[in-house]
Amino acid sequence: MPTSHPTTILIFGASGDLTRRKLIPALYNLYRKDRLPEGTRVIGFSRSEYSDQKFRTHLESGLKEFSPDTYKQDLWDTFEEKVTYEMGDLTEPEDYQRLIAVLDELEEEPTNHLYYLAIAPSLYKRAIANLGKAGLNKEKQREEGPWRHVVVEKPFGHDLESSQDLNDTIHEVFNENQVYRIDHYLGKDTAQNILFFRFANTIFEPVWNRNYVDNVQITVAESIDVGHRGEYYDKAGVLRDMFQNHLMQLLSLVAMEPPASFDANAIRNEKVKLLNAVRPIQIPDTVLAQYDGYCSTKGVAEGSRTPTFAALKLNVDNWRWKGVPFYLRSGKALNRKVTEITIEFQKPPHLMFGPTDCSDFSPNMLSLCIQPDEGTHLKFQAKVPDTEQDMRSVDMEFHYADVFDDINLPDAYEHLLLEALEGDPSLFTRHDSIEAAWKLIDPVIERWDDRSTGYLAAYQPGTWGPEEADQLLDRHGRVWRIGCGTHEKTITPMI
Ligand code: BG6
């Protein structure tokens, strides 16, 4: 996709938190690194009243707050010249005509448009329909552009039906190749590294299957609680907020078949194939829980049964993974923030050292640490020196911070905005992948919502979740792993 034309980024809902906290710091940082395409300008559009200068000052304070290490007054002064503001209501078709007049005045040559919907999900359909009515979706039928891209933030619907409905509306106005649905986990360097780790090396892929792997675990733990987001969260819950998107995307990256190329659709085809191979999730394979004190959060309904933690056991019915359980868990108010994928390998079939019973034996484990201590751990057995047959598990570690010490890992939004500007949709979720994920998560929510089947466990903030999550693995003699260690009980600090 050519970037030879200048680009106007139109941020709808520009006075909101996302613009100040993420979008402008990401664009500023691209500019600082000289990676923002030449001729890029930003127009903020929303209902609040701002002059250009007041809007810029509002954004500058956001940059100082959320990206303080990168703020430089002189750099900001040149960057902010690219930013202007237009007041308007995205539900009013006439306001789009005013916007067109502004664009006509500013744009002296054919210009690409990136429409960023930083707005409440309830407004997506109207904003998209209005963009269509105003003709702002139309690309010239020339290879050289200019293009029209639309960026949509999660949540993509609140269930399968509403996500299909949203996708239908989007497709009435934009072609799929104009649509960039953001799952910010895909913008994390370490999540992207999963594919490089698997497919740019030869030694891991031969053992990445049911013949060698005992189980796979994905943990996305957060130490923060619901905070000031009670009203949104109480309607969403952990399954919609984290599983349908971030955890399903991590699952597909770790379990998919190798694509033939790094082309966006080649990758996305394999991801959706994987999600379609996941067996429908059974209620006994689910644990849902709520932390003590959640119900007193502002915006949360009295006696709410919204889960803030979930652990699921999934099966992937294909040749590679048949019989290998995938354990996924995520929650708020947990012991600490950590996102990690652990591949636990099978134990050796026969142990000739020490006791022949290998029930306490620690198997090989490989952990891909997505955040915060980004890196990789490989755990294996070593002979304890000066003993006859004693063994101990040792850890071979790679930390991004040690190896790439001169490179700060960029914020996910930097990657994602750059890719959307360059027209590479690899890191964005395609409509079929979103629908496949809803097909898996929807029935869990539905069956669980039915009070006769839905059991809600409880856990103390600061722990690793409810005991029931341990029991989910314990039934099959397994334990949750973190950093290639074991934390046997949810209340035990991890190793
Ligand atoms: C968001 C969820 O998508 O991801 C939040 O809505 C969650 O509830 C956040 O806190 C976690 O993202 P990260 O990058 O901090 O792991």
pLDDT digits (tens, 9 = 90+) for 400-445: 988 987 777 889 999 999 999 999 999 999 999 999 999 999 999 9
DSSP bridge partners of 170: none
Least confident piece of the model among 140-144, 280-284, 323-327: 140-144
153 lines ligand 1 (CB under 6 A): no
Mutate to test the pocket of ligand 1, among 246, 291, 330 (most ligand atoms within 8 A of CB): 246
Q: Is the pLDDT of residue 335 over 80?
A: yes
Nearest atom of ligand 1 to the alpha carbon of 183: 3
Handedness of CA 24, 30, 31, 36 (dihedral sign): negative
Is beta strand 83-87 parallel, antiparallel or unpaired with respect to 179-182?
unpaired
DSSP bridge partners of 7: 40, 112
Contact 243, 448 (CB under 8 A): no
Please pick, among 58, 113, 149, 246, the residue that the annotation labels catalytic: 246
Structure confidence at residue 370 (pLDDT)? 95
Average of per-residue pLDDT across 185-192: 93
The whole-chain average pLDDT of the chain stands at 92
Average of per-residue pLDDT across 259-287: 96
Least confident piece of the model among 25-29, 476-480, 488-492: 488-492
Residue 77 CA to ligand 1 center (angstroms) comes to 31
Q: Is the pLDDT of residue 358 over 80?
A: no
Contact 119, 14 (CB under 8 A): no
Q: Is the pLDDT of residue 47 over 50?
A: yes
Structure confidence at residue 451 (pLDDT)? 64
Where residue 453 falls among pLDDT bands split at 50, 70, 90? low
Q: Is the pLDDT of residue 4 over 90?
A: no
Nearest atom of ligand 1 to the alpha carbon of 226: 8
Average of per-residue pLDDT across 24-53: 96
Average of per-residue pLDDT across 334-346: 96
Nearest atom of ligand 1 to the alpha carbon of 224: 10
Structure confidence at residue 449 (pLDDT)? 74
Q: Which two tokens stand for residue 410?
A: 């960029």
Least confident piece of the model among 12-21, 94-103, 285-294, 347-356: 347-356
**Protein residue with least CA distance to atom 5, ligand 1:** 241
Contact 40, 9 (CB under 8 A): yes
Residue 413 class from Cβ within 10 Å (0-12 exposed, 13-18 middle, 19+ buried)?
buried
**Protein residue with least CA distance to atom 13, ligand 1:** 185
Average of per-residue pLDDT across 103-128: 95
Query: Three-state secondary structure along the chain?
Result: CCCCCCEEEEEECCCCHHHHHHHHHHHHHHHHCCCCCCCEEEEEEECCCCCHHHHHHHHHHHHHHHCHHHCCHHHHHHHHHHEEEEECCCCCHHHHHHHHHHHHHHCCCCCEEEEEECCCHHHHHHHHHHHHHCCCCCCCCCCCCCCEEEEEECCCCCCHHHHHHHHHHHHHHCCHHHEEEECHHHHCHHHHHHHHHHHCCCCCHHHCCCCCEEEEEEEEECCCCCHHHHHHHHHHHHHHHHHHHHHHHHHHHHHCCCCCCCCHHHHHHHHHHHHHCECCCCHHHEEEEEECCHHHCCCCCCCCCCCCEEEEEEEECCCCCCCCEEEEEEECCECCCEEEEEEEECCCCCCCCCCCCCCCCCCCEEEEEEECCCEEEEEEEEECCCCCCCEEEEEEEEEHHHHCCCCCCCCHHHHHHHHHHHCCHHHCCCHHHHHHHHHHHHHHHHHHHCCCCCCEEEECCCECCCHHHHHHHHCCCCCCEECCEECCCCCCCCC
Where residue 3 falls among pLDDT bands split at 50, 70, 90? low
Average of per-residue pLDDT across 236-258: 97
Percent of the chain with pLDDT over 70: 94
Average of per-residue pLDDT across 236-252: 97
DSSP bridge partners of 381: 393
Where residue 361 falls among pLDDT bands split at 50, 70, 90? confident
Distance CA 116, CA 174 (A): 14
Q: Is the pLDDT of residue 2 over 90?
A: no
Q: Is the pLDDT of residue 487 over 50?
A: no
What Rg, from alpha-carbon coordinates, does the chain have?
A: 24
Distance CA 372, CA 461 (A): 20
Q: Tokens 């067109």 map to which residue?
A: 100
Least confident piece of the model among 194-198, 300-304, 445-449: 445-449
Structure confidence at residue 491 (pLDDT)? 33
Residue 386 CA to ligand 1 center (angstroms) comes to 48
Q: Which two tokens stand for residue 402?
A: 């040690």
Select from 154, 228, 218 the least CA-distant residue to 184.
Answer: 154
Q: Is residue 246 annotated as a catalytic residue, yes or no?
A: yes
Where residue 388 falls among pLDDT bands split at 50, 70, 90? confident
Contact 146, 136 (CB under 8 A): no
Structure confidence at residue 452 (pLDDT)? 64
Q: Is the pLDDT of residue 493 over 80?
A: no
